[in-house]
Each structure stands twice: as C-alpha cells, then as structure tokens.
Chains A and B, each alone.
Chain A
Amino acid sequence: MAVVEVNKLTKRYGEVEAVRGIDFEVEAGETFGFLGPNGAGKSTTIKILCTLADPTSGSARVAGHDVVRERDTVRRNIGLVFQDTTLDSYLTGEQNLRFHADLYGVPKSAYPGRMRQVLEMVGLWDRRESEVATYSGGMKRRLEIARGLLHAPRVLFLDEPTVGLDPQTRSSIWEYINDLKQREDITIFLTTHYMDEAENCDRIAIIDHGTIVAIDTPEALKASVGKDRVQISTADDEAAIKSLRDHFDLDAATHEGLVTFSVASGEHFVPRLFAELPVAIRSVSVARPTLDDVFMSYTGKTIRDAEATIGDRNRLIATRFGRR
C-alpha cells in the first residue's frame, strides 16, 4: 500500500519552477530517499508533503489524505525533522517533548511511557532535565527525531537529517534511524545530498532541476550504470593506455596516478587483462559504480557540479521571495 502518492506535482515561485511535475509513490514501511543537489526541489517537495506549502498544480496524498484538503489529518500522521533545529533551547528536553505532546494531542495516559520510550531510543533519557541549550548538535538532532516520533506518526519526514553534523555523529544518527525501523512500524521519507546516506535507503529518487530523473533501489540504480571502474598500476602507463584503446577498445586515462577505465562486469574482465595486456601490471582494483556514478550518468554532472550551478537559481528565489 502506498503511504505517499504524488501526482504531477508542480510548485512555482513567480517565474522559478522549483518542482516541475513529479510523480512517485512510497510504500508503507519503506525508507525512501530524495537524492539531489541543494536547490533541486527536494525541500520544496517535502514542504508540500508536510502541508507547509500548497502545490501550484497536481496533488499529493500522505497516509491516504490529501495534503491540501485534509491538512490536519495529514499533520496528525506525520513526524517532521527539519534541516534547521526547531527546538526551544530555553526549555529542557522533556519540556520540548511535553509541548509537542500537547500540540499533537497525545493522550495524557500514554504520554509518560511514550516519552520515556522515545528518549531511551535516542539515548537522551538521562539528559531529559537539562536545558536544550546545553546539548551538542548531535543530541539536538536526536531529540528532534525523538520528538518527531512522539505521536507515533505513520510517516517520518527527515529533511537533510545529518547536515552540519560531524561524520561520527552522522553515522550514529543513522544507527538510530535503522534501529527505529526495527522497532516501529513506520515509513521514512528523507532528503539528502550525501551519496553515502542515500545508500541506507530502500529506494531512491534522484531529483535534478525539479524533475525526477531516476527512481529505484540503490543496487538497481548502480546496476543500471552498467560499468565498473577498474584502476590498474602498470610498469608503463602510456603503453597500457594505448594498448587498452587499440586492443580492447576502451577509453582509459590516468586519475590519481592510476590508469582508470570503465568496463562492464569488471571482475570478469580482469583475467583477460592479465592475459592479454602486453604491459606488466603491479596492482589492480575493481570498484562497483557508486551513486556518484549513477548521478553522473543520469544528469551528466557530479552532484557537486550541480550545486555550483543551482546556487545561482537559489539566490534568485531567495532574493525574490525572501528566505522562509
């Protein structure tokens, strides 16, 4: 059953089309990732799904309810963790949760147990009486995840859940998220521009310039690129590159001091390489395509290139409409 259904969704800010007609579905229990550079339309889409912005055209349903017509019902069924913190740092962790419980109408009888459960899940039970101002960045994010789960939503939206955190904290946040999947019957919808994070998702939609260019499991997406990256270290790189071109019809180049080329099913190619390449090979490595390669093959650029050009578009939106 689809928990999120999106139909021909568009969102226009004046002349800028942030989302240009996207369609997709997210199944119950999935961890679904929106992967794309900043400004690709990820946050706009998530805002619409969370009822924070109205679509220009098209429709979206979350937990079976229309995000425009049944706003309150949608809101009751979703939990949100935003890019920027939305905690009151003058209140304690527990007071923040209490505030949330009252706003969401969590039954008073269920609150104490549930509060303890979510706080223990993110390892903050012992710190519940400290002011949030004394928390570290990672603790704040964990508290926000706990708060997003407090009212037992059917879908948890995580907008760039680990942006601005150090690598160690990032991986610990992911441990909590994966753990959560074991414990709760929940669908997770997240946006990210980190390739390694997208690997944690069951399915990924790659979004660029407001359209979805590919949508599938990370494995299938990588398989669709078709080629593995092979890097060899040889006695004579020039000769090796020439021989690869003449003999194998492969376009090789030196990257990071290694002869690098792409080839379908690299591990089967390596024995041939040893047998037929007239140059001595010192070492060889075969790498499966990464999501970087996937992004590259669908959009023709790396995600970092894309961010550089999209930055300009973003500034256009920002100057016209103010940052919200």
Chain B
Amino acid sequence: MTLTTEPPTLTDAIRVAVPERSLRHDMRAVSIVWRRELIRFKSDRLRAITSLVQPVLFLFVLGTGLSRLASRGMPPGVDFRTFIYPGVLAMSVLFTSIFSAASIVWDREFGFLREMLVAPVRRWAIVVGKCLGGATVATFQGIIFLALAGVAHVPYNPVLLLTLVGELLLLSFTLTAFGVMMAARIKQIQAFMALTQMFVMPLFFLSGALYPLNGLPAWLTVLTRIDPLTYIVDPMRHAVFSHLPVSPVALNALSPGITWNGWLVPLGLSLAMVAVMGIAMLGIAIAEFRKTE
C-alpha cells in the first residue's frame, strides 16, 4: 500500500490567527505546563527510583532497627513500622515536590522560563500549571510508596488508600507551592538546593512522623505545632489507625491528635490549614512572577 500525503505547499503560508486572550486560553496554558511536568517525569525513571531510596531506608532499615527498642512503648500487636508509615509516606513526596519546583530554577538557567514568561498568557496560569504538575508527579511518587503499605501491615483498604492519596495530593501541592515561591526569588540552583535541604529535614523531624505528639517536652511541643507538616502527618496517621483493629487506649497513645494548649484541633481544620497555606504561597509566587524588569 502506498500512502501519499501531499505536503502543504510552502508558498501559501497557513493562516494562523492567534485569538484574544481568554480564560479558556489560560486554562490551555495551565494544562500544557502541567503536561510538560508529566512528560519530563515519565522520561526520568531514574528520579522516580532514587527518590524512593530515602523513604524505603527510613521505613525498613530505621523502622526495623528501632522496632526492637520501640516495641516496649508500643501497644501489643502494633508494629513500629505501621506507626511510622504515614510519616514516611509524607516524606516520600517531600523531596519530589520541592525538586519539581527546582525545575523552575533550572528553566531559568536554561532559558526555558523565558519562553513561558513572554507568552501572551497570565502569569498565574504558568505558576498554577507548574504547581499542579509538581503535585501530580509527587503524588505518583507517593502512590508507588503506597504500594508497599502491606509490608508495614497497613491494610489495602480502598477507602483508606483514597483518603491517603487525597492527603498526599494536598501535601504535594502545598510543598510545590512552597518550592515555587522560593524559586521565584532564588536564581541559582545550588542556593535553592542548599536552602530547601535546610528546610526539609527539620520539617520532617518536627512533624511527629517518627513519634507521637503527646507527652513531649514543652519546647518540642511548641516546635511540632509550628511545623506545617504536622498538620498533614496527623490526619494521615489518623486515617491509617482508624482502619486498624486497635483498642481506644492504643489509639490514644499512638495517634492522639494535635492539641493547642489542651484543645484538640479537628482534622478538618488541620487539612484546611495546609490548603490555605498552599494557596497563600501560590499567591505569593504568582505576585513574584508578575513583576517585570
């Protein structure tokens, strides 16, 4: 079979009329910026694997190693790894989210940011596309780690899994917004990496990912309540333990919830705070990218 498609004759240029700017056009921009993140993630399998190394180490090496000591403090029948699983799950998206935002710094260095910033679209479309892209990629990363839930004795319950994916998405979005906000200001990739590293580990250690939030010394209690990550790790742990057959006493010991001076912060408020923070940082990022020279 011969397939002959006549190429368009080059002498008559195809007329292209670029339409007036509209919301639909801005949405198309959001979508392509988002899709670009996915394309790049798909072609970078190495990143998907390497960023799993750290959470796997925490869960299996640290978790297994410490469980012999920690088991004394654990209610009977509860594995220490089950306890730290939600926190480590949060960690699995931590790096990916912030490094997705780092791609803005790369884009600036390699000039591609300019291609985006001179386009006749609103800057918010580009920033939102970038944040959604980073959040999606990071959530994928989290989902891969979620597949290992069984090893930590976390049940593959559809409701639980959906809840966790939703929470991961929220967390990833907020973290990417944080990264994008930083990337708007920080022009060198080394500085960006150094600064985010400086933030990431304290965020993780202060979030209660590795220990319960009650009975801590006062200074640590205060610090854990300041850490934004606390407000997502706690709902995630709550979700896991509400799907496990544990006694109310054990539940109270392991997942006591966040208290402010004795007042128990409702889960909804916790999640809403994370969302508001994400939106606020997104707003700052948009304002930063709007500035012209």
Contacts and interface: CB of A to CB of B under 8 A. Distances in A.
Q: Do A and B bind each other?
A: yes
Interface of A: 47, 50-54, 72-73, 75-77, 80, 82, 84-91, 95, 98-100, 102-107, 110, 113-114, 116-117, 120-121, 150-152, 183-185, 322, 324
Interface string B165-190: 00000000000000000000001000
Nearest to A111: B16
Interface in B14-72: 14-19, 21, 25, 28-29, 31-32, 36, 39-40, 43-44
Contacts of A120: 7, 10
Q: Which 7 A-B pairs have the closest CB atoms?
A: A102-B32, A75-B120, A103-B119, A86-B111, A152-B16, A53-B293, A105-B25
Contacts of B15: 110, 152
Contacts of A324: 293
Nearest to A73: B120
Most buried by B among A51, A91, A103, A121: A103
A62 B48 CA distance: 46
A90 B43 contact: yes
Contact of B32 (A98, A117, A183, A322): A98
A152 B32 contact: no
B290 to A, nearest CB: 11
A85 B110 contact: yes
Contacts of A117: 8, 10, 13-14
Contact of B118 (A51, A54, A84, A106): A51
Interface in B147-170: none
Contacts of B121: 103, 105
A120 B6 CA distance: 13
B120 A76 contact: yes
A72 B120 contact: yes
A183 B10 contact: yes
A150 B15 CA distance: 10
Contacts of A53: 292-293
B8 A113 contact: yes
B18 A184 contact: no
A106 B187 contact: no
Contacts of B7: 116, 120
A151 B8 CA distance: 17
Contact of B120 (A47, A89, A105, A322): A105
A98 B35 CA distance: 11
A53 to B, nearest CB: 4
Contacts of B14: 110, 113-114, 117, 152
A86 B114 contact: yes
Nearest to A131: B43
A274 B210 CA distance: 98
27 contacts: A50-B118, A52-B292, A52-B293, A86-B111, A87-B112, A88-B36, A88-B40, A88-B112, A90-B39, A90-B40, A90-B44, A95-B39, A99-B115, A103-B29, A103-B116, A103-B121, A105-B21, A105-B25, A105-B121, A106-B18, A107-B16, A110-B16, A116-B7, A117-B14, A150-B16, A322-B187, A324-B293
B19 A107 contact: yes
Contacts of A72: 21, 120
A88 B111 CA distance: 8
A70 to B, nearest CB: 11
Given A88-B36, A117-B14, A183-B13, A105 B28 contact: yes
Most buried by A among B32, B39, B119: B119
Contact of A89 (B11, B31, B110, B116): B110
Given A75-B119, A107-B17, A99 B10 contact: no
A121 B10 contact: yes
Contacts of A185: 13
A151 B119 CA distance: 11
